[in-house]
A and B are shown apart, each in its own frame.
Chain A
Amino acid sequence: MTADADTATTDATTVTAPASTTPAAASPAARIRPKTGRDDKIMAAFIAVIGLYLIVSLALPLYAVLSKSVSAFYFDLGNFEFQVDRGAGWSAPVTARQLNDELRALSPEELRTSGDGRLAVTVFFPDFNFRAPTRYRIRQVQPEAAFLAGTRRVADTDWHTFDSNQFRRVVLRASKSTGLDNYRAYFSTPALFRSLKNSLTIAVISTVLTVALAFGFAYALTRSAMRFKGLFRIIAMAPILVPSLLPGIALVYLFGNQGMLKSFLLGESIYGPIGIVIGSVFFTFPHAMIIITTALSLSDARLYEAAVSLRASRWKTFWTVTIPGARYGLVSAAFVVFNLVITDFGLPKVIGGQYNMLAVDIYKQVIGQQNFEMGAVVSVVLLIPALLAFTIDRVVQKKQVAQLSSRSVPYAPQPHRRFDALCLLYCVLVTVFIAGLIGVCQYAALIKFWPYDLSLSFNNYNFDVMDGGGWDSWKNSIRLALYTAAAGTAVIFCGAYMVEKTQRFVATRAAFQFLAMLPMAIPGMVLGLAYIFFFNNPANPLHGLYGSMAILVICTVTHFYTVSHLTAVTALKQMDREFESVAASLKQPFHKVFSRVTVPVCLPSVLDISIYLFVNAMTTVSGVIFLYSPDTALASIAVLNMDDAGDIAPAAAMGMMIFYSNIGARLIHLLLTRKVMRNTQAWRTRRGEAVR
Chain B
Amino acid sequence: MKPTVSTTASKAVAAALAAGLLMFSAAGRAVDLTVYTAVEAEDLKRYADTFNEDHPDINIKWVRDSTGIVTAKLLAEKNNPQADIIWGLAGTSLLLMKAEGMMEPYRPKGLENLDPKFYDSDPVPSWVGMDAWVAAICYNTVEGAKHNLEAPDSWRDLLKPMYRGHVIMPNPNSSGTGFLDVSSWLQIFGEKGGWTYMDGLHRNIARYTHSGSKPCKLAAAGEIPIGISFAFRGARSKEAGAPIEIIIPSEGIGWEMEASAIIAGTDKLEAAKTLMDWSISRKAMEMYNTAYAVVGYRGIAKPVKHFPPETVSAMIDNDFEFAANNRKRILTEWQRRYDSKSEPKN
Measured CB to CB, the residues of A under 8 A from B are: 113-114, 116-118, 120, 146, 148, 150-153, 155, 169, 171, 173, 189-191, 194, 198, 252, 256-258, 267-269, 271-272, 349, 353-356, 363-364, 366-370, 372, 449-453, 465-468, 470, 532, 536-538, 543, 547, 629-630, 641, 644-648
Interface residues of B in 64-116 (CB under 8 A from A): 64-66, 68-69, 71-72, 75-77, 79-80, 82, 95-96, 98-101
Extra pairs beyond A349-B210, A353-B207 (5, CB < 8 Å): A271-B346, A465-B41, A536-B77, A543-B80, A646-B218
A354 touches B80 (CB 8 A): no
Interface residue B25 (Cβ < 8 Å from any Cβ of A) = no
Cα separation A366 to B223 with both chains bound (whole Å): 28
Is the CB–CB distance between A150 and B171 below 8 Å? no
Give the CA-CA distance A225 to B336 in the complex, in Å. 57
Q: Contacts A146-B101, A467-B66 hold; do A370 and B96 have CB atoms under 8 A apart?
A: yes
Q: Find chain B residues with CB under 8 A from A268 CB.
A: 346
Output the residue of A120, A153, A468 with the most chain B CB within 10 A: A153
5 shortest interchain CB distances as A-B pairs: A646-B217, A368-B174, A538-B80, A272-B344, A646-B214
Complex: A148 Cα to B76 Cα, angstroms: 20
Query: Do B65 and A153 touch (CB < 8 A)?
Result: no
Asked if B207 contacts A114 (CB within 8 A), the reply is no
- For the complex, what is the distance from the CA of A354 to the CA of B165, rounded to whole Å? 13
Report the Cα distance A38→B256, complex, angstroms. 68
In the complex, which residues of chain A have a beta carbon less than 8 angstroms from the beta carbon of B222?
257-258, 451-452
Q: Which of B77, B224, B328, B336 contacts A117 (CB 8 A)?
A: B328
Taking beta carbons and an 8 Å cutoff, which residues of B are in contact with A? 41-42, 62-66, 68-69, 71-72, 75-77, 79-80, 82, 95-96, 98-101, 120-122, 126, 142, 171, 173-175, 206-211, 213-218, 220-224, 240-243, 320-321, 324-328, 331-332, 335-336, 339-346
- Report whether B174 and A367 are in contact in the complex, using a CB–CB cutoff of 8 Å: yes
Q: How far is the CA of A139 from the CA of B267 in the complex (A)?
A: 32
Q: Which residue of B lies closest to A469 (CB)?
A: B41
Least distance between A353 CB and chain B CB atoms (Å): 4
Q: Are A367 and B72 in contact, with the CB atoms below 8 A? A: yes
Q: How far is the CB of B119 from chain A (nearest CB, A)?
A: 12
Q: Is the CB of B339 within 8 A of A191?
A: yes
List of B residues within 8 angstroms of A171 by Cβ: 325
Known: A151-B324, A367-B72. A355 touches B344 (CB 8 A): yes
Q: What is the CA–CA distance of A191 and B164 in the complex, to the nearest angstrom?
A: 23
B221 touching A644, Cβ below 8 Å = no
* Cβ of B326 to closest chain A Cβ, rounded Å: 8
CB < 8 Å: which of A151, A366, A466 contacts B95? A151
Asked if B211 and A644 make an inter-chain contact with CB atoms under 8 angstroms apart, the answer reads yes
Cross-chain contact of A645 among B77, B80, B213, B221 (Cβ < 8 A): B213
A256–B175 CA distance with the chains assembled, in angstroms: 22
B62:A630 contact, CB within 8 angstroms: yes
Q: Which residues of A contact B331 (CB under 8 A)?
A: 369
Q: Once the chains bind, are B42 and A452 in contact (CB under 8 Å)?
A: no
How many whole Å from A146's CB to the nearest CB in chain B? 7
**Which residue of chain B lies nearest to A169 when distances are taken between CB atoms in the complex?**
B321
Inter-subunit contact A370/B75 (CB<8 Å):
yes
Distance, CA A116 to CA B72, complexed state (A):
12
A-B contact pairs, 9 of them (CB 8 A): A151-B324, A152-B122, A252-B223, A256-B223, A257-B222, A367-B68, A369-B173, A465-B41, A646-B216
Measured in the bound complex, the distance between the Cα atoms of B212 and A644 in whole Å is 9
Is there an interface contact between B41 and A367, defined as CB atoms closer than 8 Å? no
Q: Name the contact of A153 in the complex, choosing from B69, B75, B101, B220 (C-beta under 8 A).
A: B101
Known A257-B223, A369-B331: A364·B101 in contact at CB below 8 Å: no
Q: How far is the CA of A355 from the CA of B339 in the complex (A)?
A: 9
Most chain A Cβ neighbours within 10 Å, of B68, B215, B240, B341: B68
Q: Which residues of B contact A155 (CB under 8 A)?
A: 101
A630 interface neighbour in B64, B210, B335, Cβ under 8 Å: B64
- Expressed in whole angstroms, the Cα–Cα distance for A543 and B321 within the complex equals 34
Provide the bound-state CA to CA distance between A299 and B173, in Å.
Answer: 53
From A190, A198, A356, A367, B69 is in contact (CB under 8 Å) with A367
B227 to A: closest C-beta gap in Å: 9
Which residues of A have CB within 8 Å of B77? 536
Of B101, B175, B218, B325, which contacts A368 at CB under 8 A?
Answer: B175
Report the separation of the CA atoms of residues A629 and B328 in the bound assembly, to the nearest whole angstrom.
28
Given known pairs A191-B340, A368-B173, A465-B41, the reply for A148 and B211 (CB within 8 Å) is no
- Contact partners of A267 in chain B: CB under 8 A: 346
Do A354 and B216 touch (CB < 8 A)? Answer: no
The answer on a CB contact under 8 Å between B72 and A370 is yes
Smallest distance from the beta carbon of B12 to chain A beta carbons, Å?
A: 24
Question: Do residues B100 and A271 form an inter-chain contact, with CB atoms below 8 A?
Answer: no
Q: Is the CB of B76 within 8 A of A372?
A: yes
Give complex CA distance A629, B62 in Å.
10
- The answer to whether A153 and B100 touch across the interface, beta carbons within 8 angstroms, is yes
Bound: A354/B206 CA distance, A: 9
Most buried by B among A372, A468, A645: A645
Chain B neighbourhood of A120, CB < 8 A: 325
When distances are taken between beta carbons in the complex, the residues of chain B under 8 Å from A258 are: 221-223
A354 and B343 in contact, given A117-B328, A171-B325, A646-B211 (Cβ under 8 angstroms): yes
